[in-house]
Structure 1
Amino acid sequence: MNPVVEQMNRRRSVRNFSGKPVDEVHLGRILLAAQQAPTSINGQQISLVVTRNKETIARIAEIAGGQPQVAGAEVFVTVVIDYHRTREALKSVGAEQVIAQSAEGLMVGATDAGIMLNALQTAAESFGYGTTAIGGIRNDPQAMIELLGLPAETFPLVGTTIGVADDASLAQVKPRVPLATFAHMERYDAEAVRRGVAEYDRQLRLWWDEQGLTQMPSYSESTAQYYSRVYFPKVAESLESQGFEFRDD
């Protein structure tokens, strides 16, 4: 099998780390590889803040809701939507930036941040490190902004842990919804999605039971715990305070 595809098929979130250090040379190569990820119009409206200081990582874990998987990581990388950089570019040619005050600007930033997250994790995992995506930093975005010294028109959207996995506690690869309900051919199939949800509830239940975690909720139950409420209620206020707006004109 193609080694890149094989690595991607083995991907799992790593929540327990051995405490062994992340090699400085490896980290540099991971960051350099991630920087090659595409961005809309080559605007490069993404920055990374790399944290290795354990006290700062502990504070990030606290901001994210008290996550031990963050506190135990050797490296935490915050993916930042960065229209401060593009504002500087526009200033240099005498233009006024408006993209941060638009719905499209937020869509571009979120899209590019997701691409960057995947690039970071894929590169880190290619060196044998474990990672977990951490959206919990949006639990208190303002605290992250202050901690990292982020200027206006930037926003800490997501982060990732990087560390050497504790092999004794590695989880098995978690199943996904049926492929035919994920990859639609030519047109979206809503009925297939409905059937796929029911099938995935059964598959995930079996998987949890095989792991000895019979108390874990089904896919539908777990999703309802989050999506029946706004679970990070400080995001809009923080975006506004950073100079972002969600409109089309």
Structure 2
Amino acid sequence: MNNTIENIKNHRSIRQYLDKDISDEIIDEIIKAAQAMPNSINGQQTTVIAIRDKSKKEKLAELVGNQEYVAKAPVFLVFVMDFYRTYLAGEKTGSKQIIHEDIESALVGAVDSGITLGAAIIAAESLGLGTVPIGGIRKNPEEVIELLDLPKYTFPLVGLAIGYPSDESHTKPRIPFESFRHNDTYNKEAIENSIDSYDEEMEAYLKDIGRYDKEKNWSTLTSSVYQNIYYPKVKDAMKKQGFTPAK
């Protein structure tokens, strides 16, 4: 396979970084790669905020759940679902925007931001940088919105810490490929048959990296998380930003 595919398959989350700056030219190239990705109706409803300010990174590290590597990373990107831009287009043309009143806005925004996030990760890692996505940007969304001065019809969806790796972490095993790729229809049997074997693989991996006592295996970790609403402040914060799909 080519180098791009090998780089993607070699992905691992990097949380420890060298004390080495990243030039604006490199960050621009990463964000331009993200911007080049496809998006719904060419609405371009994603904005990326690059954060270098030390105090702001330290505050974000606290808000996302005391994840110190957010503060230590030279650059932290925040991917924002942005229907403010399209709202302004509607104001210009006299066509009232109502997409933010439907769940479709959240789906469009999440898909488009996810595509741009993936491109940014691939671009950064192709340049020898390490990354780790931070879903915790949604843990305290109102404070993040205030800190970043986000207008109505926008919402911070995910962050990305970027830096030169100080060490190489392990590559985390993925679910068996035959339960990931399905042909023509959804294969429930493949899913059901894969869980035990994947739990066993994850147990070995977690023991190897010293996290078995905390996580046990895939089933234990995911079920412990998803028995609750992961980030319960999101719903009310989205309403305050003008997203009202349940009204």
Q: Give TM-score, length-normalised by structure 2.
A: 0.96
Corresponding position of 1:77: 77
Corresponding position of 2:184: 186
Corresponding position of 1:244: 243
CA distance in structure 2 between the aligned counterparts of 1:9 and 1:214, rounded to whole angstroms:
24
Matched position secondary structure for 2:81? strand
Instruction: Tell me the alpha carbon deviations over residues 37-61 of structure 1, each in whole angstroms, 9 at most, x when there is no partner.
Output: 1110000011011100111111000
Corresponding position of 2:57: 57
Aligned positions of 1:200-219 closer than 5 A: 200-215=198-213, 216-219=215-218
Corresponding position of 2:195: 197
Letter in 1 for 2:148: L
Corresponding position of 2:151: 151
Corresponding position of 1:16: 16
Q: Would the alpha carbon gap of residues 32 and 189 (structure 1) be closer, same or farther in structure 2, given more than 3 Å must change?
A: same
Letter in 1 for 2:83: Y
CA distance in structure 2 between the aligned counterparts of 1:212 and 1:114, rounded to whole angstroms:
30
Q: What displacement does 1:179 show?
A: 0.3
Which shows bigger deviation, 57-66 or 201-210?
201-210
CA distance in structure 2 between the aligned counterparts of 1:213 and 1:45, rounded to whole angstroms:
38
Corresponding position of 2:6: 6
CA distance in structure 2 between the aligned counterparts of 1:182 and 1:246, rounded to whole angstroms:
31
Corresponding position of 2:96: 96
Instruction: Tell me the alpha carbon deviations over residues 83-106 of structure 1, each in whole angstroms, 9 at most, x when there is no partner.
Output: 000011111111100001111111
Letter in 1 for 2:183: M
CA distance in structure 2 between the aligned counterparts of 1:156 and 1:34, rounded to whole angstroms:
16
Q: What displacement does 1:212 show?
A: 4.2
User: Share of identical aligned residues, percent?
Assistant: 39
Corresponding position of 1:161: 161
Which shows bigger deviation, 234-243 or 66-75?
66-75
Corresponding position of 2:220: 221
CA distance in structure 2 between the aligned counterparts of 1:219 and 1:125, rounded to whole angstroms:
26
Corresponding position of 1:117: 117
Instruction: Tell me the alpha carbon deviations over residues 2-35 of structure 1, each in whole angstroms, 9 at most, x when there is no partner.
Output: 1110000110000111121112211111111111
Q: Which consecutive residues of structure 2, in runs of 5 or more, have no partner in the other structure?
A: none
Matched position secondary structure for 1:173? coil
CA distance in structure 2 between the aligned counterparts of 1:82 and 1:124, rounded to whole angstroms:
23
Letter in 2 for 1:187: T
Q: Which consecutive residues of structure 1, in runs of 5 or more, have no partner in the other structure?
A: none
Matched position secondary structure for 1:187? coil
Cα-Cα RMSD = 1.2
Matched position secondary structure for 1:156? strand
Matched position secondary structure for 1:160? strand
Letter in 1 for 2:90: L
Matched position secondary structure for 1:107? helix
Corresponding position of 1:105: 105
Q: What displacement does 1:234 show?
A: 0.3
